[in-house]
Amino acid sequence: MVAHVLGYPRIGKKRELKKAVEKYWRGETTRDELETVAKTLRAENWKLQKEMGMTHIPSNDFSYYDQMLDMTCTVGSVPPRYDFTGDEVDQDTYFNMARGGKGEKTAMEMTKWFDTNYHYIVPEFEKNQPFKLTSNKPVNEFNEAKELGITTRPVIIGPLSYLLLGKNKYEGGDVLDHLDSLLPVYNELLKNLETAGAKWVQIDEPCLVTDLSDPIRDAYKKAYATIREKNPNLKLFMTTYFEGITGEAPWICNLPINALHFDLLRAPEQLDTLLDNWNGSMIYSLGVVNGRNIWKTNLEKAWETLEKAQNKLGAENIWASASCSLLHSPYDLEIETELNPQVKSWMAFAKQKLWELNALNTALTRGGKKSIKAELEEYNKIFTDRKNAETTFRKDVREKTSRTGGEWSSRKSPHDIRQVVQKDLLKLPIFPTTTIGSFPQTKEIRKWRADFKAGRMDEKTYNNHLKEATANCIKEQEDLGLDVLVHGEFERNDMVEYFGEQLDGFIFSKFGWVQSYGSRCVKPPIIYGDIRRPNPMTVEWIKYASTLTKKWVKGMLTGPVTILQWSFYRDDVSMEEVCRQIAWAIRDEVHDLETAGIKIIQIDEAAFREGLPIKREKWENYLNWAVESFKISSTGVEDSTQIHTHMCYSEFNDIIDSISKMDADVISIESSRSQMEILDALADYKYPNQIGPGIYDIHSPRVPAKEGMTELMGQALKYVGPEKLWINPDCGLKTRTWDEIRPSLHHMVETAHEIRRRL
């Protein structure tokens, strides 16, 4: 048997690559110095995997920014605006593509990698896009490992996934139109790898788990027939991950390749179909260790899965692996010295996952479960410990979450009645103006927080500073003439972490970083137990802010779906249950805000859409519990309390029905960049509640002119009645400066005046 992973995290145990790359960007190091850091990290990863008993070790899973961008540079589809002409894409062109360069060299688009929090750089194709091999990175890294005595398995993104994840920059045509011109470059690359000594090449084709069409299936068959024909001696290992291929197994399992990888964590149900469709010679790599979470694997269960497959295919045709690349796991649990020891004993980061794979491999090759029964039992003890822990099953929490039925998830009256009651109470002008919540997190604020966290500033001083910032923010908003004010969120480092820190059931690591995009990493909170709210979390801040003004101050919360999506969640209860537990905690917070006299409460669901499953057949189930959780959190209020929600995107067309079912009184969304086009969908659907289509693109430092914003509101009015429209930016203002937002918000308020006059 073989134990192996599809890829290893590359940012460095303590984010060494991040730091080196950012230094290079600031011009503080040379290319050579950067390359030295990268080389050290690659060597560490290879050696570690070897030491940990991995039989196949990937290379080219390293990247300075992103593996899709690397592929773009490898096949030479560098967009013309970067003026690239040479034979090999240079480092500066590479970073310009990722981050934007001078003048016309704007950055390439970035988007989420399937349903992970990783973001990739989207390939762009011109009409008749030429391709050419313009990077030796895969070969160089193979050679680099070879010099260290390790024969690696180079990893590349497969040609179909590469195209399908890209975009044509011209009207008409399909990304698959480029396949014929792309394939020769892949074949040249594969030839070079073989010449360098590679026996196996790993070709990632994650698009195989998406909903496929006939043209896509045909393209796959054609492409791999060609690749096989041109590379008859190279062993091809194709990977799928993040979902299953059940319905497609008959043809995928018969592609002319040597090995296939499957994710048995996300889609355990596919195993039987895969075994039924075994073609007699294909090697199956089975992802039995979760590559995307931080929990120990139940080795007995994993063992059973592997054994079942082994009985059918024979040991020589089974590889044990993690479900997907470990890119999505943090590095090493051992360096976490401050974690609660009990919870820590339940956890496994990337390095520990290698240990598990090695253990499974040794166990299976040693023959029979009996031989390692004692070890398995010992390891699996933690599952009993976890199950019995008082933190993972709290009766009071479960009692709450077992309540079902309309009374816990619907408002007292429908929106049209509530709207009247709220109008009477709030007495807001038509086209009320507001913001999404956060105001600039200045250097000063970040320094206070850092000082406070490091113990250099006491709590009282810290809170006084935050109060000052809040008071100042309220004053600024009054001066600007906004209608519904916010407190500014200065006390929050992050919209999820802030709540996680105050809820039972969450824990925080010190080095549990995972790459989000480029040099950016996130350290998700860890949900390990049942969630409850020991104390109010935001009430004091909102109450304080509302004492400073006669205007309404909006309470600001993060919604259950978003808190769940942006955390590492436990794998011993369903996502749905975890989400419901958070929802109940938020419901209690909403109740306390209401009791404290807060009449407008916003519950942000920034990650609502990104939680959508990859396969459409699984959407309905997700949407049902996601909507229900939002409603549990938001409906325990009087008709007169106005619930807002915010989502920082605008692709609602597919899920508009669910958005509507959330029944928020007001929803603010992103729309300035799409020229309000998205309101089309809302209007078609006759979205019944109030909407604040963002008219100020906060992602840009540009100060929008009043005329532009008035024009956008004019557009919006074509779709939505005036009594339903709010005026607000696209998202929070946290990343902007006061100098940028002051004039921008001023123009926004003037826009409101202007359209009120016109009415």
Contacts (Cβ under 8 Å, ≥6 apart) of 15: 513, 521
For ligand GLN, the closer CB: 54 or 731: 731
User: Quick check: 646 binds ligand GLN (CB under 6 A)?
Assistant: yes
Return the residue of 438, 509, 635, 728 that touches ligand GLN, per CB under 6 A: 438
Structure tokens at 222: 């054609």
Return d(Cα 510, Cα 502) in angstroms, integer. Answer: 17
User: Quick check: 604 binds ligand GLN (CB under 6 A)?
Assistant: yes
For ligand GLN, the closer CB: 216 or 667: 667
For Zn ion, the closer CB: 428 or 731: 731
For ligand GLN, the closer CB: 138 or 555: 555
For ligand GLN, the closer CB: 578 or 667: 667
Return d(Cα 435, Cα 447) in angstroms, integer. Answer: 25
Q: Which stretch binds ligand GLN (CB under 6 A): 57-65, 436-444, 508-516, 674-682?
A: 436-444
- Cβ pair 241, 208 in contact under 8 A: no
Return d(Cα 373, Cα 464) in angstroms, integer. Answer: 59
Structure tokens at 173: 């045509």
User: Quick check: 491 binds ligand GLN (CB under 6 A)?
Assistant: no
438 binds, among ligand GLN, Zn ion, none (CB under 5 to 8 A by kind): ligand GLN
Provide, rounded to whole angstroms, the least separation between the CB of residue 674 and Zn ion.
15
Provide, rounded to whole angstroms, the least separation between the CB of residue 605 and Zn ion.
9
Alpha helices in 327-432 (DSSP H): 341-344, 350-366, 373-388, 395-401, 406-409, 415-426
Provide, rounded to whole angstroms, the least separation between the CB of residue 499 and Zn ion.
16
User: Quick check: 66 binds ligand GLN (CB under 6 A)?
Assistant: no
Structure tokens at 65: 């920014």
245 binds, among Zn ion, ligand GLN, none (CB under 5 to 8 A by kind): none
3-state secondary structure 636-662: CCCCCCEEEEEECCCCCCCCHHHHHHH
Provide, rounded to whole angstroms, the least separation between the CB of residue 731 and ligand GLN.
5
DSSP E strands in 490-577: the ranges are 504-507, 514-517, 520-522, 526-532, 552-558
For Zn ion, the closer CB: 37 or 556: 556
Amino acid at 172: G
Total Cβ atoms within 10 A of residue 286 = 26
Amino acid at 756: R
Catalytic residues: 699
Which H or E run includes 277?
none
Q: Which stretch binds ligand GLN (CB under 6 A): 136-144, 292-300, 589-597, 730-738?
A: 730-738
Q: CB nearest Zn ion: which residue?
A: 648
For ligand GLN, the closer CB: 266 or 734: 734
Give the alpha-carbon dihedral of 377, 382, 384, 390, to 10 degrees: 170
Provide, rounded to whole angstroms, the least separation between the CB of residue 694 and ligand GLN.
10
Q: How many residues does the chain have?
A: 759
Q: Which stretch binds ligand GLN (CB under 6 A): 237-245, 346-354, 430-438, 531-539?
A: 430-438
3-state secondary structure 131-183: CCCCCCHHHHHHHHHHHCCCCCEEEEECHHHHHHCCEECCCCCCHHHHHHHHH
For Zn ion, the closer CB: 245 or 733: 733
Provide, rounded to whole angstroms, the least separation between the CB of residue 602 and Zn ion.
11
Structure tokens at 612: 């959508």
Q: Which stretch binds ligand GLN (CB under 6 A): 27-35, 92-100, 431-439, 510-518?
A: 431-439
Q: Which stretch binds ligand GLN (CB under 6 A): 434-442, 463-471, 630-638, 691-699?
A: 434-442
In what side-by-side order are the strands of the sheet with 200-204? 2-4, 318-322, 283-289, 259-263, 235-239, 200-204, 153-157, 58-59
556 binds, among ligand GLN, Zn ion, none (CB under 5 to 8 A by kind): ligand GLN
By CB under 6 A, the count of residues binding ligand GLN is: 13
Return d(Cα 576, Cα 143) in angstroms, integer. Answer: 47
User: Quick check: 556 binds ligand GLN (CB under 6 A)?
Assistant: yes
User: Quick check: 386 binds ligand GLN (CB under 6 A)?
Assistant: no
Provide, rounded to whole angstroms, the least separation between the CB of residue 517 and ligand GLN.
15
Return d(Cα 205, Cα 218) in angstroms, integer. Answer: 15
Provide, rounded to whole angstroms, the least separation between the CB of residue 308 and Zn ion.
45
Return the residue of 606, 614, 698, 716 that touches ligand GLN, per CB under 6 A: 606
259 binds, among Zn ion, ligand GLN, none (CB under 5 to 8 A by kind): none
491 binds, among ligand GLN, Zn ion, none (CB under 5 to 8 A by kind): none
Using a 10 angstrom Cβ sphere, with 0-12 exposed, 13-18 middle and 19 or more buried, the burial of residue 371 is middle
For ligand GLN, the closer CB: 560 or 732: 732
User: Quick check: 693 binds ligand GLN (CB under 6 A)?
Assistant: no
User: Quick check: 694 binds ligand GLN (CB under 6 A)?
Assistant: no
DSSP E strands in 225-278: the ranges are 235-239, 259-263
Provide, rounded to whole angstroms, the least separation between the CB of residue 644 and ligand GLN.
10
User: Quick check: 245 binds ligand GLN (CB under 6 A)?
Assistant: no
Residues 492-521 that bind ligand GLN (CB under 6 A): 495
C-alpha atoms less than 13 angstroms from C-alpha of 16 in its C-beta half-sphere: 16
Provide, rounded to whole angstroms, the least separation between the CB of residue 516 and Zn ion.
16
Return d(Cα 661, Cα 630) in angstroms, integer. Answer: 10
Residues near Zn ion (CB under 5 A):
648, 731
Return d(Cα 313, Cα 218) in angstroms, integer. Answer: 28
User: Quick check: 437 binds ligand GLN (CB under 6 A)?
Assistant: yes
- Cβ pair 266, 323 in contact under 8 A: yes
Structure tokens at 79: 């967009």
Q: CB nearest ligand GLN: which residue?
A: 732
Amino acid at 168: N
User: Quick check: 731 binds ligand GLN (CB under 6 A)?
Assistant: yes
For ligand GLN, the closer CB: 489 or 497: 489
- Cβ pair 151, 56 in contact under 8 A: no
User: Quick check: 672 binds ligand GLN (CB under 6 A)?
Assistant: no
Total Cβ atoms within 10 A of residue 481 = 15
For ligand GLN, the closer CB: 240 or 438: 438
687-to-623, 653, 656, 690 alpha-carbon distances in Å: 17, 12, 8, 8
Return d(Cα 736, Cα 469) in angstroms, integer. Answer: 15
Provide, rounded to whole angstroms, the least separation between the CB of residue 305 and Zn ion.
40
User: Quick check: 732 binds ligand GLN (CB under 6 A)?
Assistant: yes
Give contact residues for ligand GLN (rule: CB under 6 A).
436-438, 489, 495, 556, 604, 606, 646, 648, 731-732, 734
